[in-house]
Amino acid sequence: MRGLVVLATLVYFATAQHQALIDYLERRLLAIEDRISLWHEQTARYAIELRELKQQMVSQLENLDKEKETLRMNLDGVGSRVDRVERELDYLETQNGAQPCVDVDDKLIEQQVTLVQEKQKAKYFKLSDCGDMISNIKAMKILKRVGGPKGTWTKDTNRGSGKVFIFNGTDEDTIYEFASVQEFSRSLGLTLSKKLKLPYAWKGTGHVVYNNYAYYVNQVDGVKVVKYDLRNSSVTDSAMFPDLDPVPVYGLTPETVMDLAVDEEGLWAIYATRQNERHISMAKMDANSLDIEQMWDTTCPRENAEAAFVICGTLYVVYNTKQPGRSRVQCVFDVNGMVSNDDAPLVYFPKRYGAHSSLKYNPQEQLLYAWDDGYQILYKLVMKKKLEI
């Protein structure tokens, strides 16, 4: 009997020790699980913080790359302008000799005024045998409506290119490129387009695409014409237009200080100045160097003007008439003097939606690409010889 008591006592103590060991192991496992859970939480938090830091670093690096590219292009533009000024100064020195007593700033101002006056008086030499002008508008085709009420759409005037370009708005920096007019028509909005991000935003609606280059107006420090290579996605040149105190060129499109145009003769600038603010002026530009070849003050008034375009060296200004839904060419200016404003026929545009914010002539197709209150419109022109008018 006594042996049984001893055995029972031993079993009790063994069971108690076993239970104590199990309790200890459970406490240790719970502590380990708590530490593992805390480690997971800390690891996840560190991973999130690391991803956020990485995103911030990538964003800052991208901004630095953009600023570096912008600075490089600005330096390139400054270098080109400095070279151009140096060439002009060298030329003036060889022609007139040195004048050490004249203040440099006064000399530059006098030089600029002299160059403008000479380019306004010089005789214009045609680059082509083009002698056509508008007789009438044969047809009108509304392709679609995309974008805001004001913008520009145009086709590359390069004979081998069928690409179409959309400049939506009056102060943006993204061009939408389509492979053809048909692809633009099929596209749901701008979904089928290729986006081209410009380093400088454009101002107004005076842009053109000429031989794989986009020419547009930037208006940050004065009026600057920018030449952008669409194939290499880079700015190849830029030039400040002579400081003539510019004003909006069209009374009904105040966002546009300068309107660029292309015809059979090349690149033109349509603008207005405070010195002659009642009328529109125009200039012939070298598409390669962006130099101004010659300038003219026309007799076409700015008031009530919507847009303008150039065909064979003749400026056509479109005005809003008092008739509802109608506008017409009401003033022409021929740089060659073959046609006077009194001899030119009145060309009425078919019924429209609002007002033309841009009209771009394509000399290869003899079509006008018009932007009218967000509608993209094509006008087919009927032409005749200037001598027949």
Phi and psi at residue 319, in whole multiples of 5°? -120, 155
User: In this structure, are strands 213-218 and 224-229 parallel, antiparallel, or unpaired?
Assistant: antiparallel
Query: Which segments of the chain are extended strands (E)?
Result: 132-145, 151-155, 164-168, 174-178, 194-197, 208-210, 213-218, 224-229, 234-240, 258-263, 266-271, 279-285, 292-301, 305-311, 314-320, 327-334, 347-349, 356-362, 367-372, 375-385
How many Å apart are CA 308 and CA 92, to the nearest integer? 36
Identity of residue 90:
D
Distance in angstroms (rounded) separating the CA atoms of residues 189 and 187: 6
Distance CA 58, CA 166 (A): 31
Task: State which amino acid sits at residue 268.
Answer: W
- For the chain, the distance separating the N- and C-terminal CA atoms, rounded to the nearest angstrom, is 143
Contact of 286 with 354, CB cutoff 8 Å = no
Chain segment 43-70, per-residue pLDDT in tens:
888 888 888 888 888 888 888 888 887 8
Report strand pairing: 279-285 vs 266-271: antiparallel
Q: Which of 49-53, 113-117, 206-210 has the highest mean pLDDT?
A: 206-210
With bands split at pLDDT 50, 70 and 90, how would you rate the model's confidence at 37?
confident
Tokens of 329: 């060419």
pLDDT at 84 over 70: no
What's the rounded Cα separation, in Å, for the pair 265 and 312? Answer: 6
Does the pLDDT at position 157 exceed 70?
A: yes
Query: Coil, strand or helix: which one is 256?
Result: coil
Summarised one tens digit per residue, pLDDT across range 273-305 is: 988 889 999 999 999 999 999 999 999 999 999
pTM exceeds 0.85 for this model:
no
Q: How confident is the model at residue 327 (pLDDT cuts 50, 70, 90)?
A: confident
